Amino acid sequence: MGTPIPPIQLPPCGDYTAEAEWLEAALLNWLNTEYLPEAVNLAIAQRAAQVYRRQRLEGEHDLGGILLALVTELQEFDFSQSFYSEFAVANAVSDLLLRRLGIEPCCGAG
């Protein structure tokens, strides 16, 4: 059996609004460059940033907990006009946050 991956804790932040604004802009950029820019991408980025900000304000600093909250809450979002899903968006947010911490996300086995 492999070694469990330790949880990743995000550092506390004094300005969660600014952090959420950064995330919204970074996610919107990712959404627009990953496939094609779509009008719905702004609404997706805004909703994800809103969930993220609320989670942080409620004291959630665990990246895994934030990821689960995003997937759960974005299930109510209408992705019918998008290439994306709640899972793709939550994973993108996770990757963006990891990169911001200086951790290169990795995928695939090796």
Residue 68: strand, helix, or coil: helix
Which of 81, 78, 68, 14 has its CA nearest to residue 47? 78
pTM: 0.89
Q: Which of 31, 54, 55, 53 is nearest to 41 (CA)?
A: 31
Q: What is the pLDDT of residues 23-63, one digit of tens each?
A: 999 999 999 999 889 999 999 999 999 999 999 999 999 99
40, 81 contact by CB (below 8 A): yes
Classify 110 as helix, strand or coil. coil
d(CA 81, CA 97): 26
List the domain boundaries for the chain: 16-101
